[in-house]
Chains A and B, each alone.
Chain A
Amino acid sequence: MSQGEIMTNAKDQVLLDKLANAAREGKISRRSFMHYAAVAGVTSTTATGLWTSSAKAEPKRGGTYRLAQHDGNSSDTHDPGTYLTFAMINLAHTYRSYLTQINPDQSLGGDIATEWSATPDAKEWTFKLTDKASFHSGGKVTANDILASMNHHRGEGNTSAAAALLADVEDIVDNGDNTVTFKLGSPNADLPWLMTDYHLAIVPANEDGSANWQSGDGSGPYKLVENEFGVGSRLVRHDGWHGEGAYFDEVQILIINDPNARQTAVITGDVDAASQLENKTLGLLSRNPDIKIDNVASAAAVTMPMHTNTAPFDNPDVRNALKMSVNREELIEKIQFGAATIGNDFHHSPAMPYFPESIEQRPYDPDQAKALLKKAGAEGLTVSLSTADSVTSGAVDAAVLYAEHAKAAGITINVVREANDGYYSDVWLKKPWCMVQWGARPTPDVMYSLAYKDDASWNESFWQNERFNVLLRQGKAELDDAVRAEIYTEMGQIARDDGGTVIPYFPNFVYARRGNLEHSGELAASWPMDGARAAQRWWFA
């Protein structure tokens, strides 16, 4: 169901019934339920009441949960520093645990850490650890293990992909009272959010303080019994698990890289869930009464950064003209088959905290784009847009469609198809306008610091905006949520109106499950399968 569809029927009472129904069947998340209910003109208290009455469900224990998982590779490893595939991200959340986790309602919750606090300057964060957590091999999870796990990604010569994430951490200390303190070089109010990153899994420490990741030991809800990378794994419940959930007796993960095979497996009941579906068959699959489809707005994004230091993109009017000459709705409809959330040219997805609802959506307006170009003296603009098939599904098609839209504004976009291999080393940051797929990041600060900050090495549009960067630094050090929300609203507005990046849409996560597999109705949006924690949170009816 697309958002636009909902909007047009807004005043319809039928809608509310449908919503309640959808909620009961677990088809929509609480977040979207509240959102749609608000659109329909229901007060939030009524909506909450409606939600709780319709989506109430009692978890049950037992059963074997079989998952068809996409994107697995035989050269995956247990090393958290090189987790790369979706299969490993999912497995990591099943057999290992983290300091914190993203809850189904997108708030931040504890995993190994039960509570956390910062000094007022946000430069020192202390995490209190639960005393219940234990590794599958027996030992308790101690502060020592946390230190080893974190130091695996730090220091000279480390080989972790998460090194950049912890670059600001100057020291991590074991306080001796089951708490650890992270000392930062500069303030960072988001550190607890960073701890949800899939690389930062907790593994046991060796005698010498290094991390022992090789054994595949962990402290997650399930214990690995059999595992062959690129083929599949079998796990059983870890009885000493410290958290809530872990309702299944056994979890079987089957790596199925072919989308058709995944889809068939879930239709025939060979598996209970499939971690990713092909968007083009969504409509057909949703007619199957045995299958439920979860379509979750994510924080992943497709961006088209223009180098703002290169003509003609150095003129904000040209940039805005290009932003105006894309028909986002049609892109979402044709390329994503509706399974995407519309973008508004600032890299802050509704699935992230502090999302600014108040910023007006930029429409498709070729006439105004034409006027802007005239103002900039760049009528009949001709530009090249580089893309490759590997960027995202239908990337080239999307670019071609964009070129069609831009024709109405008198803009000629030459779509340049680049090679898949080496795209991110040869095209990205090198060609003045290209297409990029970004994975989900937990907070707007992480995203902006990574790709929009003036001195960031991945500032993909080479964008320099003084106010934006002042706000960014201010927001990073701000511990008050209300103030931060205001800061991110202003930053979003600036990026939308001055930035060099076209963000047409945020692709949704789309996954399917058999009818007897239940979840709370809310789904974490950080990764597919309820933030990769379906094995922990879901149950059989």
Chain B
Amino acid sequence: MSLFVIGYYTLLLVVSCLAAYFNKKTIFLLAFSLTLVSFVLGIVGGPGALRAVAICAGLLLLTGMVSYAFREFLIQMAESNIGLSFTNNPPVLYGCIIIPIVLIVLSRLLEWPITEFALAALILVIILIGMNSETAKELRTAPMTAAFGMFVIFTYAIAGIFAPYIAPHGEAEVISSAFAPADESMLLGADQLGRDMFSRIVYGARNSVGLALTATVAAFVLGAGAGLLAATKGGWFDQLMGRIADVIMSIPSLIFALLMLSIFGPSTLVIICAVAIIYAPRVFRLTRAVAGNVVVMDYIEAAKLRGEGTGYLIRREILPNSTAPLIAEFGLEFCFVFLLVAGLSFLGLGIQPPTADWGSMVRENATLISFGDITPLIPAASIALLTVAVNFVVDWMLFRSSGLKEQ
């Protein structure tokens, strides 16, 4: 009996007893059933199995702690009511938004190396604006999964924005031999050309997420815009939009993308356009259906009688009442867009090398799986982690806005 095994059971039993004493039912059940399972596991798998369980539990605990801390951090931020100082002070508000945007545009044009910081500042300002006691109240309802999701998204955003500063090596820089194992300078080893895997993952966050996000947003602007207009205007416009959506949806998406990319060449802009066109009809249908339900409500009638214009109706009346399903759809579509882009990469039509892109990275190294090499799993896991995180947050938002708060 090693010290580890003794410590393992002692810890579990202590936790179980304490939980029972303080009447924490869930924790007690969890801890004690784990103890029972561990007896069996320990006999069958020996200390190795127990160690694996301990590591898993430890990781889970760690994730939980990070998520919890991150949520508390956000709540603290929100409680300080920073947002109010912006919203009560319009000149500061607009200044803080416009200056970073101007800086971003200028730095792109004049090649100043500050784009990353300006972008980060802009995002920070937008987040800060939302920080008030209302938000704090909402944040308190966030489950651990949602907090975890937010933390992951935050990490990815940082990695994506500051990629050149975080990545130890260049995106396309060949620094060692092919498939070199991990060492001090290369956290995750090298890929098939001897480029640093970790650096490429970090750059991939910028390229892949940036592309998928842009494409999804474009699809949403197109689809939701058309859907809202169609619902408000009705009549022939509604019909026309509906039929256009039918036509696009009936063409298999992969083939449509394949044709578009073969015609116009596989540039990022074409990929974004193709993906936006493919996914816009889905968003359109959903928006049309949701907004269709809202449009027949009495308060819309009243607004129409007041003589409000289409723009006002959409902005002030319909949109706020249809956001929940749209956000949920956004999460799922984001996954699908990511997968479509990865599929295009698989057919050699996605983001072009040497630009780091997770989908292409999976494809380039895929043959290694047969040899039990985990290299291709890393980018695939990055994709999976992000989509899971996004959907955690989306689930929470959905739950919050559905009629189930009391449950």
- The interface of chain A, by Cβ under 8 A from chain B, is 259-260, 263-264, 267, 278, 280-281, 284-285, 333-334, 337, 389, 394, 396-397, 400-401, 404, 417, 419, 421
Number of interface residues of B (CB under 8 A): 21
Known: A389-B352, A396-B353. A281 touches B367 (CB 8 A): yes
Contact among A285, A337, A389 with B353 in the assembled complex (CB-CB below 8 Å): A389
Q: How far is the CA of A241 from the CA of B334 in the complex (A)?
A: 60
CB-defined contacts of A278 to chain B, threshold 8 Å = 367
CB-defined contacts of A263 to chain B, threshold 8 Å = 367, 370
B352:A284 contact, CB within 8 angstroms = no
Known: A337-B178, A397-B353, A400-B354. A281 touches B371 (CB 8 A): yes
The yes or no answer to B97 lying at the interface (CB within 8 A) is no
The yes or no answer to B193 lying at the interface (CB within 8 A) is yes
A281:B178 contact, CB within 8 angstroms = no
Q: How far is the CA of A400 from the CA of B353 in the complex (A)?
A: 11
Known: A260-B366, A389-B348, A421-B262. A404 touches B174 (CB 8 A): yes
B181 to chain A, nearest CB (A): 13
A401:B370 contact, CB within 8 angstroms = no
Q: How far is the CA of A26 from the CA of B114 in the complex (A)?
A: 60
CB-defined contacts of A260 to chain B, threshold 8 Å = 366-367, 369-370
Task: Provide the B347-369 mask, 1 if CB < 8 A to any CB of A, else 0.
Answer: 01000111000000000001111
Which A-B residue pairs are the 8 nearest by beta carbons?
A: A284-B371, A419-B265, A260-B367, A280-B192, A281-B367, A278-B367, A260-B366, A264-B370
CB-defined contacts of B194 to chain A, threshold 8 Å = 334
B193:A334 contact, CB within 8 angstroms = yes
Q: Which of B174, B262, B369 has the most CB of A within 10 A?
A: B174
A185 to chain B, nearest CB (A): 41
Q: How far is the CA of A280 from the CA of B191 in the complex (A)?
A: 10
Known: A334-B174, A400-B354, A401-B174. A280 touches B367 (CB 8 A): yes
Interface residues of A: mostly helix, strand, loop or mixed? helix
The yes or no answer to B172 lying at the interface (CB within 8 A) is yes
Beyond A280-B367, A281-B370, A333-B177: 8 further Cβ-contacts under 8 Å? A260-B367, A260-B369, A267-B370, A278-B367, A280-B192, A281-B371, A284-B368, A389-B353
Q: How far is the CA of A281 from the CA of B353 in the complex (A)?
A: 20
CB-defined contacts of B174 to chain A, threshold 8 Å = 334, 401, 404
CB-defined contacts of B366 to chain A, threshold 8 Å = 260
Nearest neighbor of A335 in chain B, beta-carbon distance: B193
B356 to chain A, nearest CB (A): 13
Nearest neighbor of B364 in chain A, beta-carbon distance: A280
Interface residues of B in 312-369 (CB under 8 A from A): 348, 352-354, 366-369
Nearest neighbor of A397 in chain B, beta-carbon distance: B193
A417:B178 contact, CB within 8 angstroms = no
CB-defined contacts of B262 to chain A, threshold 8 Å = 421
Contact among B172, B352, B368 with A281 in the assembled complex (CB-CB below 8 Å): B368
CB-defined contacts of B353 to chain A, threshold 8 Å = 389, 396-397
CB-defined contacts of B177 to chain A, threshold 8 Å = 333
19 interchain pairs, CB-CB under 8 A: A260-B369, A263-B367, A263-B370, A264-B370, A267-B370, A280-B192, A280-B367, A280-B368, A281-B367, A281-B371, A284-B368, A334-B193, A389-B348, A396-B353, A397-B193, A397-B353, A400-B354, A404-B174, A419-B265
Q: How far is the CA of A242 from the CA of B373 in the complex (A)?
A: 48
A400:B370 contact, CB within 8 angstroms = no
B355 to chain A, nearest CB (A): 11
- The interface of chain B, by Cβ under 8 A from chain A, is 172, 174, 177-179, 192-194, 262, 265, 348, 352-354, 366-371, 373
Known: A334-B194, A396-B353, A397-B354. A280 touches B178 (CB 8 A): yes
CB-defined contacts of A394 to chain B, threshold 8 Å = 193
A239 to chain B, nearest CB (A): 39
A417:B367 contact, CB within 8 angstroms = no
Nearest neighbor of B173 in chain A, beta-carbon distance: A404
B367:A259 contact, CB within 8 angstroms = yes
Nearest neighbor of A281 in chain B, beta-carbon distance: B367
Q: Which of B172, B174, B369, B370 has the most CB of A within 10 A?
A: B370
CB-defined contacts of A267 to chain B, threshold 8 Å = 370
Q: How far is the CA of A397 from the CA of B352 in the complex (A)?
A: 11
Q: Which of A281, A285, A401 has the most CB of B within 10 A?
A: A281
B371 to chain A, nearest CB (A): 4
Q: How far is the CA of A394 from the CA of B354 in the complex (A)?
A: 10
Q: How far is the CA of A280 from the CA of B368 in the complex (A)?
A: 9
B260 to chain A, nearest CB (A): 13
B169 to chain A, nearest CB (A): 14
Q: How far is the CA of A297 from the CA of B193 in the complex (A)?
A: 22
A53 to chain B, nearest CB (A): 35
Nearest neighbor of B194 in chain A, beta-carbon distance: A334
Q: How far is the CA of A417 from the CA of B265 in the complex (A)?
A: 11
CB-defined contacts of A389 to chain B, threshold 8 Å = 348, 352-353
Q: How far is the CA of A259 from the CA of B348 in the complex (A)?
A: 13
Contact among B178, B348, B368 with A334 in the assembled complex (CB-CB below 8 Å): B178
CB-defined contacts of B179 to chain A, threshold 8 Å = 280
Q: How far is the CA of A35 from the CA of B178 in the complex (A)?
A: 28
CB-defined contacts of A284 to chain B, threshold 8 Å = 368, 371, 373
CB-defined contacts of A397 to chain B, threshold 8 Å = 193, 353-354
Nearest neighbor of B263 in chain A, beta-carbon distance: A421
B207 to chain A, nearest CB (A): 16
CB-defined contacts of A421 to chain B, threshold 8 Å = 262, 265
Q: How far is the CA of A397 from the CA of B174 in the complex (A)?
A: 10
Nearest neighbor of A421 in chain B, beta-carbon distance: B262
CB-defined contacts of B352 to chain A, threshold 8 Å = 389, 396, 417
B243 to chain A, nearest CB (A): 32
Q: How far is the CA of A263 from the CA of B370 in the complex (A)?
A: 9
Q: How far is the CA of A28 from the CA of B265 in the complex (A)?
A: 42
CB-defined contacts of A337 to chain B, threshold 8 Å = 178
Nearest neighbor of A417 in chain B, beta-carbon distance: B352
Q: How far is the CA of A267 from the CA of B367 in the complex (A)?
A: 12
Known: A260-B366, A263-B370. A400 touches B178 (CB 8 A): no
B149 to chain A, nearest CB (A): 33
CB-defined contacts of A333 to chain B, threshold 8 Å = 177
Q: How far is the CA of A61 from the CA of B370 in the complex (A)?
A: 33
Q: How far is the CA of A263 from the CA of B369 in the complex (A)?
A: 11
Nearest neighbor of B371 in chain A, beta-carbon distance: A284
A131 to chain B, nearest CB (A): 49
CB-defined contacts of A396 to chain B, threshold 8 Å = 352-354
A328 to chain B, nearest CB (A): 16
Q: How far is the CA of A417 from the CA of B352 in the complex (A)?
A: 10
B226 to chain A, nearest CB (A): 32
Q: Which of B177, B192, B354 has the most CB of A within 10 A?
A: B192
Q: How far is the CA of A106 from the CA of B367 in the complex (A)?
A: 33
Q: How far is the CA of A334 from the CA of B173 in the complex (A)?
A: 13
Nearest neighbor of A419 in chain B, beta-carbon distance: B265
Q: How far is the CA of A337 from the CA of B177 in the complex (A)?
A: 10
B177 to chain A, nearest CB (A): 8
B172 to chain A, nearest CB (A): 7
Q: How far is the CA of A396 from the CA of B193 in the complex (A)?
A: 12
B24 to chain A, nearest CB (A): 50
Q: How far is the CA of A394 from the CA of B179 in the complex (A)?
A: 16
CB-defined contacts of B371 to chain A, threshold 8 Å = 281, 284-285
Nearest neighbor of B265 in chain A, beta-carbon distance: A419
CB-defined contacts of B192 to chain A, threshold 8 Å = 280
A261 to chain B, nearest CB (A): 10
CB-defined contacts of B373 to chain A, threshold 8 Å = 284
B175 to chain A, nearest CB (A): 11
A336 to chain B, nearest CB (A): 11
A180 to chain B, nearest CB (A): 45
Nearest neighbor of A396 in chain B, beta-carbon distance: B353
B56 to chain A, nearest CB (A): 30
B250 to chain A, nearest CB (A): 23
Nearest neighbor of A259 in chain B, beta-carbon distance: B367
A97 to chain B, nearest CB (A): 36
Q: How far is the CA of A297 from the CA of B367 in the complex (A)?
A: 24
A140 to chain B, nearest CB (A): 47
Q: How far is the CA of A285 from the CA of B371 in the complex (A)?
A: 8
